[in-house]
Amino acid sequence: MEKDAKIYVAGHRGLVGSAIMRNLKKEGYNNLVYRTSSELDLRRQEKVEEFFKEERPEYVILAAAKVGGIQANDNYSAEFLYDNLMIESNVIEAAYQNDVKKLLFLGSSCIYPKYADQPMKEEYLLSGKLESTNESYAVAKITGIKLCEHYNKQYGTNFISAMPTNLYGPNDNFDLETSHVLPALIRKFHEAKVNDEDEVVIWGTGKPKREFLHVDDLADSLLFLMNNYDRNQFVNVGVGKDISILELAQLIKNIVGFEGEIVNDLSKPDGTPRKLLDVTRLNDLGWEAQISLEEGIKDTYQWFKENY
């Protein structure tokens, strides 16, 4: 991408979008276009079409999405499916209609089957049943990947897709009702420490394993892909190693400085047993994650304390 190119970042205020904005500015990209969700509802086709005709972005990074953890996905499954389908369909179609040079669609590792072989290779997509608790979100993200692939096939567009693993970092969602596991644990341990409580309860057995990528690493990988990748296959983005939820809880407990006990609530679901991405394709292109989990959690906890 040329340094003066007009780049539209959809979802610029979210966890991912804000990291993308920071990284683009740091790398000298200053012709950035964005709108808040109140200014532009991406679920409304007419509004999206008007925006693209008015702004004529040359490049699009589609990070806007309705996101949440197991509980939010399960409780609001129709919203997760509808909202994400409409957002991606409207933006991808408008990008095609307005001759966008390149678009990057951001998916999620939950697109893979619940019992996929580990680590999960890109070719495992659609090879088995999805995890039921986030099926609607996964279906929407799979549709986004396929939209990009088929627009490229039929129209000759250059629309690529990246599938990040579990993300965390500054601007994360720390709402215990809707957040993902890592920020939820940061808040739980912090509040337990402040309130001098004896224990922190975590969902399930703590045995499921998860991979965590700092959002600034993700932003760096997306800029790398925009500048170096043009194939019609999506790319996994991760660190290539995982940690159990109980080990994660212990790590966060130590970083926060909580001295009580960790208690497992076995009435709560574990979710998918393991979700580790095979990042060979991305590594072979020349990109690897740089931020360690401990370093990243310390950075995120510092942000949390300053902003909550």
Q: Cα 49–159–7 angle (5° rounding)?
A: 60
- What is the C-alpha separation between 144 and 20, in angstroms, rounded? 19
Contact between 30 and 37 (Cβ < 8 Å): no
Residue 210 is assigned to a ligand binding site: yes
H/E stretch holding 168 reads: strand 166-168
Residue 266 is assigned to a ligand binding site: no
Residue 12 is assigned to a ligand binding site: yes
Residue 190 is assigned to a ligand binding site: no
Across 198-225, b (16+ Cβ under 10 Å) vs e yields: eebebbbbbebbbbbbbbbbbbbbbbbb
- Residue 237 pairs in a beta bridge with 164
CA count, 13 A, side-chain hemisphere, 302:
6
The residue type at 62 = L
Residue 276 is assigned to a ligand binding site: no
- What is the C-alpha separation between 226 and 238, in angstroms, rounded? 17
Residue 188 is assigned to a ligand binding site: yes
**Residue pointed to by tokens 């579990």:** 166
Q: In Å, what is the CA distance from 73 to each residue of 88, 121, 165, 263?
A: 18, 24, 17, 24
- Pick the closest to residue 137 from 215, 210, 208, 82 (CA basis): 82
Active site residues: 137
Residue 165 is assigned to a ligand binding site: yes
Residue 44 is assigned to a ligand binding site: no
Residue 156 is assigned to a ligand binding site: no
Residue 206 is assigned to a ligand binding site: no
Q: Is the dihedral of CA 71, 114, 123, 216 positive or negative?
A: positive
Residue 293 is assigned to a ligand binding site: no
Residue 13 is assigned to a ligand binding site: yes
Residue 24 is assigned to a ligand binding site: no
> Binding site: residue ranges?
11-17, 106-109, 141, 164-167, 180, 188, 203, 210, 270
> Binding site for substrate: residue ranges?
188, 203, 210, 270
> Binding site for NADP(+): residue ranges?
11-17, 106-109, 141, 164-167, 180
